[in-house]
């Protein structure tokens, strides 16, 4: 059983991966892959990835104007991506078989004949046709509608409502305390009358 260890994008998608760069894979599920990117793990759909078991040893010739995730559509020309450190570099003036990376100082061959993200014939004199990026995610209609500024209460209205509520609550408390005092007065009056009656009865004997 082969173990998948490396992955790269096979179509432009805003998922946090750089086009043409190979990333180590730490785990796989039926639908997603755990890709390690700069010390953290990203869950990427397997349908967006090209998987392999051996480490990459060639520069990837990435077509320009396809990195929609970074907002570079129609901005840059074709470029190279280092298989070791994922550094981007410009194409050499001549079609040399190997090139040294200016960041990691490693020498790798260039995959000139690989048609990465291309549906045309590659470098045969014709302009390559780039793969169509997947559509971006639409708005989430499950979220509640955000209140407009006209539907929000002003600060003055909030203060008035709070004062009104506090005054109503204060009035209820005072009413309850007054009722409790009246009950206590009635009870004390009955107790005094009962004591006087008992004393009169005792004296009559």
pLDDT tens sequence for the chain (205 residues): 456 789 999 988 888 899 999 999 999 999 999 999 988 999 999 999 999 999 999 999 998 864 554 544 445 689 999 999 999 999 999 999 999 999 999 999 999 999 898 754 444 444 444 444 444 555 555 555 555 555 555 666 666 666 666 666 667 778 888 888 888 877 666 666 666 666 666 666 5
The domain spans of the chain are: 6-110, 156-205
**60-96 core/surface letters (b: 16 or more CB in 10 A; e: else):** bbbbbebbbbeeeeeeeebbbbbbbebbbeebeeeee
Give the per-residue pLDDT at 61.
Answer: 94
Give the per-residue pLDDT at 12.
Answer: 85
Give the per-residue pLDDT at 153.
Answer: 58
Counting every residue written for the chain, the total comes to 205
Give the per-residue pLDDT at 176.
Answer: 84
Which residues neighbour 120 within 8 Å (Cβ) at sequence distance 6 or greater? 126, 127, 128, 129
CA distances, 38 to each of 24, 85, 173, 204 (Å): 10, 11, 62, 104
């Amino acid at each position: 059983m082969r173990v998948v260890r490396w992955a790269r994008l096979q179509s432009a998608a805003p998922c946090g991966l750089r086009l043409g760069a190979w990333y180590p894979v730490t785990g796989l599920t039926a639908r997603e892959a755990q890709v390690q990117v700069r010390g953290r793990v990203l869950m990427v759909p397997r349908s967006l990835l090209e998987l392999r078991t051996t480490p990459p040893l060639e520069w990837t010739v990435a077509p320009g104007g396809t990195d929609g995730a970074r907002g570079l559509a129609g901005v840059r020309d074709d470029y190279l991506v280092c298989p070791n450190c994922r550094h981007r570099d410009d194409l050499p003036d001549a079609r040399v078989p190997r090139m040294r990376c200016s960041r990691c100082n490693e020498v790798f061959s260039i995959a000139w004949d690989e048609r990465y993200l291309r549906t045309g014939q590659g470098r045969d004199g014709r302009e390559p046709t780039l793969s169509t990026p997947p559509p971006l995610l639409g708005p989430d209609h499950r979220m509640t509608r955000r209140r407009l500024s006209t539907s929000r209460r002003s600060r003055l209205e909030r203060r008035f409502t709070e004062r009104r509520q506090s005054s109503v609550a204060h009035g209820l408390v005072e009413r309850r305390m007054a009722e409790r005092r009246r009950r206590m007065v009635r009870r004390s009056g009955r107790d005094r009358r009962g004591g006087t009656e008992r004393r009169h009865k005792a004296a009559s004997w």
